[in-house]
Amino acid sequence: MLTPVQRLKLALFTDGLAASDAARRELSAGEECRPLTLADYASTSGISIELEGGIWVNAPIQDFNPNFVKAPPHRLELEDGEFFVVSGDLRVRARPLPVPSYHDQLNRWGEPYKSLAITHTDRVRISPVEGCAIACQFCDLPYEFHYRIKSVDALVDSVDRAVRDPLLPARHVLISGGTPRKEDYPYVQEVYARVAARFPELEVDVMMVPMPGLLDLEALHGMGIHGLSLNMELFNEDLARRIMRPKARLGRAYWLDFIERAVSIFGPGRVRSLLLVGLEPMADTLRAVEALSERGCDPVLSPFRPDPSTPLRGCEPPAVDCLVETYERAAEIVEKHDVKLGPRCIPCHHNTLTFPDGSGDYTCH
């Protein structure tokens, strides 16, 4: 049974959040150029907030999701110097996070740091590839950005800047971004090696589509990469062929075999796979949870958030009851297989159906 605060998190995913004028002024620190969020990905378009009890949420706001955040019944309020999320009779202490201080700064090559690195909660994500070599209809990358690769030196420098940020320091690293073209595979592999070598004290994870020839599991493990996020996203093959054809072409068996091999190399708790909740029938999502759990992989349940720039902009996010049922049924499945709903980092729960459980399997960096 979910607590009222846990259920509020799920309601925020579905309904979004309104912020009072006072809350907005405090978060922007009086700076006209300081945004409430950097809204870089479809699933991180909102304000990252720690609710009481260590429950994290990325709450969509009308500024960046006017397609479905219309008149949210939940408000971020500032009262006597403290933040609260108010929803009906529920009043929950909250700690919204500001954007990092580097949000409007340039590096020594004259590039905006935020074109290279984005910090959410305690993790900095760098994107070697801007845009994407493939197009999935739920992702903003191929619709918002032209394909290009970035300087390896600038990417390494951006991690260093994010770690030293005085306002929102990064504690671990995710190398993600768009899928590269085949001719750029060696470049992306160089980024993995350079970042892992430069920051051995940090956990560096890789999030990437396992295109044939792109991810050398043994090499990644050997260079010190901490873990992998290999995101299946959809288990329903008919729907996958319509919405994310290039990924679907790999075939479900290929995905599951690759994930199983990754677990055998990286070990328990180091391999996860994200599933989009609400974009396919719940039964398919739960079948995916079972298939991943059987292979020792942590499933990550991420509520579908329709992005205004994508072909799916007119879809509705999943209803709260759908999120509740999916979470509760998935939690039973992972417990049976002795894995966890990912990710294992508690602040990184902010855009997923995951809650800290006091077990020690979930940690903060």
DSSP 8-state secondary structure symbol assigned to residue 270:
S
Domain boundary among 96, 127, 154: 96
Please check whether residues 195 and 126 belong to one and the same domain: yes
- Whether the CB-CB separation of 304 and 317 falls below 8 Å is answered with yes
Please check whether residues 171 and 68 belong to one and the same domain: no
Please check whether residues 201 and 294 belong to one and the same domain: no
First and final CA of the chain: distance in angstroms?
28
Q: Residue 112, SS3?
A: strand
How far apart are the C-alpha atoms of 30 and 101, rounded to whole Å? 14
- CATH code of the domain covering residue 198: 3.30.750.210
If we measure between CA atoms, which residue out of 278, 289, 335 comes closest to residue 42?
Answer: 278
Q: Is residue 364 part of a domain?
A: no
Q: Which helix (H) or strand (E) holds 255?
A: helix 252-266
Look at residue 69 and tell me whether its pLDDT is greater than 90: yes
Half-sphere exposure of 190 (CA within 13 A, CB side): 13
Per residue in 214-270, pLDDT (tens digit) is 999 999 999 999 999 999 999 999 999 999 999 999 999 999 999 999 999 999 999
Please check whether residues 207 and 125 belong to one and the same domain: yes
Q: Which helix (H) or strand (E) holds 126?
A: strand 123-126
Look at residue 94 and tell me whether its pLDDT is greater than 80: yes
223-to-106, 149, 176, 216 alpha-carbon distances in Å: 30, 22, 17, 11
Q: Is residue 214 part of a domain?
A: yes
If we measure between CA atoms, which residue out of 341, 327, 320 comes closest to residue 13?
Answer: 320
Q: Residue 277, SS3?
A: strand
Q: Is residue 145 part of a domain?
A: yes
| pLDDT band, very low/low/confident/very high, at 28 (cuts 50, 70, 90) | confident
What percentage of residues in the chain have a pLDDT greater than 70?
A: 99
Please check whether residues 14 and 83 belong to one and the same domain: yes
Q: Is residue 176 part of a domain?
A: yes
Q: Is residue 173 part of a domain?
A: yes
Q: Which domain holds residue 255?
A: 230-236+245-358
How many domains is the chain partitioned into structurally?
Answer: 3
Please check whether residues 119 and 154 belong to one and the same domain: yes
| pLDDT band, very low/low/confident/very high, at 32 (cuts 50, 70, 90) | low
Please check whether residues 201 and 271 belong to one and the same domain: no
Q: Is residue 123 part of a domain?
A: yes
Q: Which of 37-41, 74-78, 314-318, 360-364 has the lowest mean pLDDT?
A: 37-41
Token pair in block for residue 126: 């760098």
Q: Is residue 89 part of a domain?
A: yes
Please check whether residues 146 and 190 belong to one and the same domain: yes
Mean pLDDT of 183-211: 98
How buried is 324 (Cβ within 10 angstroms: 0-12 exposed, 13-18 middle, 19+ buried)?
middle
Domain boundary among 188, 222, 256: 222
| pLDDT band, very low/low/confident/very high, at 42 (cuts 50, 70, 90) | confident
- Whether the CB-CB separation of 43 and 72 falls below 8 Å is answered with no
Task: Please name the residue that has the structure tokens 């993790």.
Answer: 123
Q: Is residue 363 part of a domain?
A: no
Mean pLDDT over the full length of the chain: 96
Please check whether residues 124 and 205 belong to one and the same domain: yes
Report pLDDT for 41.
84
How far apart are the C-alpha atoms of 318 and 88, rounded to whole Å? 21
Look at residue 188 and tell me whether its pLDDT is greater than 70: yes
What is the reported pTM?
0.96
- Whether the CB-CB separation of 229 and 195 falls below 8 Å is answered with no
348-to-5, 13, 194, 242, 300 alpha-carbon distances in Å: 17, 15, 24, 29, 11
Task: Please name the residue that has the structure tokens 């709450």.
Answer: 59
Domain boundary among 96, 112, 137: 96
Token pair in block for residue 225: 């990469």
Strands of the sheet containing 123-126, edge to edge, are: 117-120, 123-126, 172-175, 204-207, 227-229, 271-277, 298-303
Look at residue 204 and tell me whether its pLDDT is greater than 80: yes
How buried is 21 (Cβ within 10 angstroms: 0-12 exposed, 13-18 middle, 19+ buried)?
exposed
Please check whether residues 137 and 199 belong to one and the same domain: yes
Backbone angles phi, psi at 143, to 5 degrees: -100, -20
| pLDDT band, very low/low/confident/very high, at 151 (cuts 50, 70, 90) | very high
Report pLDDT for 40.
84
Please check whether residues 51 and 157 belong to one and the same domain: no
Look at residue 158 and tell me whether its pLDDT is greater than 80: yes
Please check whether residues 73 and 164 belong to one and the same domain: no
